[in-house]
Amino acid sequence: MIAAPQRATPEAFARFGSVVPAPTGEPTAAGDTFRYWSDLAHYHIDGETEVGLCTVVRRDARRVTWMERHARTPEFLIPVDAPFLLPVMGEGGPVEVFRVEPGEAIVIGDGVWHSACHPAVADAATYFVVFRRGTPREDVDRTDIDPVDVG
């Protein structure tokens, strides 16, 4: 099975969480050396958060064979240096793949199945991960799936 990547737009990703698009309007505040846009996204985490950094590398085959979900937290992903492909799925599938560009971000809703991202165009892609503190040790439900090629 192959899941073709699609752009992560607010409408396309709505059933999995939310998209933080790059701002297009006037900034909330600006000066000679900065431009700041506020209130771009909203999500709730019950408890202290942690920030992690994940680097994924290109493989010959972009294949997903597992998914995970977190019952107690959304997961906020922010690309650092290159676009990435994010595999997600609703209960029972199918796997869908979303492309997220630097300057944008994505919030995966709590309980949404997802896998590690894949570099979209570069040999590697790095992204920040923000979620409830302790999630990797205390709140990971993982399942194997039939292999899906993403892109």
The structure's pTM equals 0.91
Share of the chain above pLDDT 90, in %: 79
Share of the chain above pLDDT 70, in %: 100
For 64-76, the pLDDT digits (tens) are 999 999 999 999 9
Tell me whether the omega of the peptide bond preceding residue 94 falls within 30 degrees of 0, making it cis.
yes
For 71-112, the pLDDT digits (tens) are 999 999 999 999 999 999 999 889 999 999 999 999 999 999
* Pair 38, 28: CB distance under 8 Å: yes
Q: Write down the domain spans for the chain.
A: 2-150
Fold of 2-150: Jelly Rolls (2.60.120)
